[in-house]
Chains A and B, each alone.
With several copies, the nearest count.
Chain A
Amino acid sequence: MRETSTLNKEEMVTAKTSVSVLFAGDSGDGMQLTGTQFANTVAVYGSDLNTFPNFPSEIRPPAGTVAGVSGFQLQFGTSSVYTPGAKFDVMIAMNAAALKANLKNLHYGGIIITDTDGFDAKNLKLSGYGEENNPLLDGTLKDYTVFQIPVVSLTRKALAETGLSTKNIDRCKNMFVLGVLYWLYSLPLETTVETLKTKFAKKLDLAEANIKAVTAGYNFGDETEMFSQHGRFTVAPADKKPGVYRRVTGNEASAVGLAAAAKKAGLELFLGSYPITPASEILQTLAGLKKWGVKTFQAEDEIAGVLTSIGAAYGGALAATNTSGPGLALKSEGLGLAVILEIPLVIINVMRGGPSTGLPTKPEQSDLLMAMYGRHGDAPMPVIAAKSPVDCFYAAYEAAKIAVEYMTPVLCLTDGYLALSSEPMLVPSPDELASITPVFSPVRNADDPPYLPYKRDDRAVRPWGKPGTPGLEHRIGGLEKQHETGNVSHDPENHALMTRLRAEKVARVADIIPELTIDNGPENGDLLVLGWGSTYGAIKKAVEQVIEGGCSVAHAHLRYINPFPKNLGELMGKYKKVLIPENNCGQLLSMIRDKFLIEPVGFSKVEGLPFNEMEIEAKITDILKEL
């Protein structure tokens, strides 16, 4: 965060390149909605941004307590934004508990905007500060810039004339605060006003009240003396590629990626799925895409989730299933069947903290080795990983392309962090998307030679024989199959051959995936930071920082984990050291050691939290010292 102050004629406006904001309040205070409004506004305004919600782990924890605090974090800026921010610059605290829960993550000297009405005796007690210890008064916040606003009171005053009940009026307090924030960051109200009109199209009084509240908040900023010392801020729009944008979370992007792949391939999309945190929104999003012919099947369990998908894939659909760790474990056997059947199937696994039920609402990257090896027998399948919310779209899309074109299940890894984070996505035009070409065997006549469902092409890929097609009638299953005919075979050499061919086919995917490129930094040098998945933003930021500090450090990020890009070994060889940060105990590290017999530095964080850039920067600095 770098800033330049200019003194305006009338007011002081400080320009900033990026700002991280946390909206925090009680679960009932509508913080997710408020944050989303702010996000939409800055997006339309032209900023780059990244958001992350932080729900309490219970559905409705006791109001006013720290357990009940709901947060929505967002970073927006002029240059590319990759994370919601390691710490925030500004924090909205609607009550004492919200302050207590989040203060530790506010930058030293950061801004706090509080609703003083949320710091009454009851709130202080519930928050754990204690009735006697009001942090707004006792010096706790001396290192921060604190704006104390009696939000509830001001909202009531502003809406006194609406005739609404106090309960309904109080529900508008979040809009008041949002208005204040718009003023503070010199942002327009239009987007929010429009949204409120649409949302409350059938309850005009509520629409009006909310609009009044956000306007009142804005005007309060204008009129109060409170901000005169600090003035306002601006964050110039980002220099973004022109085009149409939408905001997506990782889970939405995954869902749309699958649906888009199906459309592009000319296939019907079928998703067999069982709800599980944090993967359910993929099912939920696709359930809403019936207009695009998407069929979702909410199965009785994860096993049925994957097996219904296998059935649909046998039937000629683009089939997918999504889940998180415990569900992936249950799907293991089914995935083995998909491997030996050699049918296309996309599995999206949204990783969360394990083992077992573990930390179901927290992200982790600890399912990588299960994705690679969690099937009995030698049962290889391609594994790819998404690095950002938007990238979830492309990862799902590519998974589908590989699945269909290589007749194989493909495992696509995202995690609970990507799943819920959002960022703007430049909407691609249909033509920009890579082609996806299923190869269905054509009709055969009675006098054609018999159909060979396991006759492979030169990439070792077998054809797809769609039921309903005359002449392709064939019967396959989980038993080892004879080369070409697909009939059951117990022949020893055939088993060795088929095992080799299945592995070879997957290995050959390396022929069509791009070589790994350096995301940032020199082509060779002291240190390569090799990441995969959701660590992208944090590594990106950290490496930017150390490069700016003059270090010889580069960043490369793996999308393809099985097979690895062909040049991975060579590329790693160009640096003195390789650092692999992971939210697990070193799973990619194991794979790299095994495959390349080199000794990278592993960096594990297994806390149910993503890395932040500072941690990675510190680790890089440590390593460079020792080089």
Chain B
Amino acid sequence: MTDTRAQLTAKDFTSNQEPKWCPGCGDFAVLQQLKNAMADLGLKTEEVVVVSGIGCSSRLPYYVATYGVHGIHGRALAMASGLKTARPELSVWVGTGDGDALSIGGNHYIHTVRRNLDLNVILFNNEIYGLTKGQYSPTSKVGLRTVTSPNGVVDHPINTVALTLGAGGTFVARVMDRDGKFMREIFKRAAEHRGTSVVEIYQNCPIFNDGAFDAFSDKDRKADTTLYLEQGNPLVFGNEGQKGIRLDGFTPVIVDLSDTTISKDDLWIHDEKDFIKANILSRFFDDPDTSATFLPRPFGIFYVEDRITYEDALTAQIEKTQENGEGTLEELLRGTSTWTIN
């Protein structure tokens, strides 16, 4: 059957269900860019499955006109792993939250990442449990006061990028909910990567954790607090690109490019294939409001590694055993050793 349908548009990926997120929720933007990216990638609605757990963000599948399963809390990646193993030819996307993926789902998270199934994971990090009305999450900042932390959070937060690298991730990126175009491109790169691609999205929850990422998205501060990673380019930031990052031994330091003694050539050049650099970058994680030695928060692709996917390795084993043909039902029933009674 040759497919004569034209290339689909974002609209074709829009389901008939009205999104039920709060007005102003960062989730809307992600949904839009996801649909844009799917269209850009030339996907067909029937070959895509969107899988999720439970949370505001995990409502995602209902709003995309593809196949979709809204599972149970924390188990999206396990469900997606089974689906992908059984059906490697499908394009499987996972929508999950900081609670869903990193709290109750943390175990599936680290194991999926190390197995490197070819999944595209969209991790909506709003540093809060939205759906259950505002309890702190494992990414919440220390000191955050919520209904379950009236005296402030005491748990040290998870650094998603660092955890993913530690668990053996092969594609890790971070984007801001407001950076629509950038997100769209990163989604496409994620989809093109063969392996588990994690895209962490800083997603504002205006209801329960409003402004959690303002330091990185406020017009006036953004330029000084964020660092956009571009492959092969030096790390520069600041509203006129006047600041750069250089390595002093292992210590990243901010340098002033207006200082004529410093040239761009001395700067750290971003290389998304460099694991060590990715690790150091992942530690640009301190709080611009409280840290004296603050380094700008990186956005973009931290790391990409080529490693065989779980399903490819499994398929290869199966194909190897079937070199001389698949087993028949009769052979299966007889097993390896039989005797006959007449």
The answer to whether A and B touch in the complex, with CB atoms under 8 Å apart, is: yes
A residues whose Cβ falls under 8 Å from a Cβ of B: 40, 43-44, 46, 58-63, 67, 237, 240-248, 252, 256, 259-260, 263-264, 268, 270, 272, 274-277, 280, 283-284, 287-293, 295-304, 307-312, 314-317, 319, 326, 333-334, 336-337, 341, 356-357, 427-430, 465, 467-479, 487-488
B243 at interface by CB-CB < 8 Å: no
Q: In the complex, what residues of B have CB within 8 A of residue A247's CB? A: 337
Further contacts, 11 of them, CB under 8 A, given A274-B104, A300-B106, A341-B69: A241-B341, A242-B342, A260-B332, A270-B85, A280-B148, A283-B135, A290-B321, A307-B75, A312-B82, A356-B72, A478-B71
Q: Quick one: closest B residue to A299, CB to CB? A: B78
Within the complex, which residue of B20, B129, B138, B339 is in contact with A300, where a contact is CB–CB below 8 Å? B138
* Docked-complex contact A307 and B82, CB < 8 angstroms: yes
Chain B contributes a number of interface residues (CB within 8 A of A) equal to 85
Closest A residue to B322 using CB positions: A291
In the complex, what's the smallest C-beta–C-beta distance from A314 to chain B, in angstroms?
Answer: 6
Q: A43: which of B44, B75, B131, B339 is its contact (CB, 8 Å)?
A: B339
Nearest CB in chain A to that of B324: its residue: A291
Q: In chain B, residues 289-342, which have Cβ atoms closer than 8 Å to a Cβ of chain A?
A: 314, 317-318, 321-322, 326-330, 332-335, 337-342
Cβ-defined contact, B333 with A310, below 8 A: no
In the complex, what distance in Å separates the CA atom of A277 from the CA atom of B150? 19
Q: Taking A256-B335, A295-B86, A299-B78 as contacts, is the C-beta distance between A475 and B131 under 8 angstroms?
A: no
* Nearest chain A residue, comparing its CB with the CB of B149: A287
B276 within 8 Å of A (CB atoms):
no
- With both beta carbons as reference points, the residue of chain A lying nearest to B3 in the complex is identified as A470
Say how far A485's CB is from chain B's closest CB, in angstroms: 10
The verdict on B281 contacting chain A, using a C-beta distance below 8 Å, is: no
Which residues of B does A touch, CB under 8 Å?
A: 15, 17-18, 20-23, 25, 44-47, 49-52, 54, 56, 61-62, 64-75, 78-87, 89-90, 103-104, 106-108, 111, 129-133, 135-136, 138, 147-151, 155, 207, 314, 317-318, 321-322, 326-330, 332-335, 337-342
List the A side residues contacting B111 at CB < 8 Å.
299-300, 304
B71 touching A310 by the CB < 8 A rule?
A: yes
Contact B81–A304 (Cβ < 8 Å)? yes
Q: Are A295 and B67 in contact (CB-based, < 8 A)?
A: no
Name which residue of chain B comes closest to A239, CB basis: B341
Greatest chain B CB density within 10 A among A62, A264, A274 is at A274
A46–B341 CB distance below 8 A: yes
Do residues B147 and A314 form an inter-chain contact, with CB atoms below 8 A? no
Q: What are 17 A-B pairs with beta-carbon distances under 8 A? A: A59-B131, A61-B20, A67-B20, A242-B341, A246-B338, A260-B333, A280-B147, A284-B135, A291-B327, A300-B106, A300-B111, A304-B108, A307-B72, A334-B72, A465-B67, A467-B67, A475-B15
Contacts of B107 in A (CB 8 A): 300-301, 304
Q: Which residues of A contact B21 (CB under 8 A)?
A: 58-60
Query: In the assembled complex, which residues on chain A have CB atoms less than 8 Å from the CB atom of B74?
Result: 301
The answer to whether B75 and A468 have CB atoms under 8 Å apart is no
Question: Which listed residue, B67, B130, B148, B339, touches A283 by the CB 8 Å rule?
Answer: B148
Pair A316/B86 contact, Cβ less than 8 Å: yes
Q: Is the CB of B332 within 8 A of A292?
A: yes
Q: In the assembled complex, which residues on chain B have CB atoms less than 8 Å from the CB atom of A471?
A: 46
Chain A residues whose C-beta falls within 8 Å of the C-beta of B82 in the assembled complex: 270, 272, 297, 307-312, 315, 319
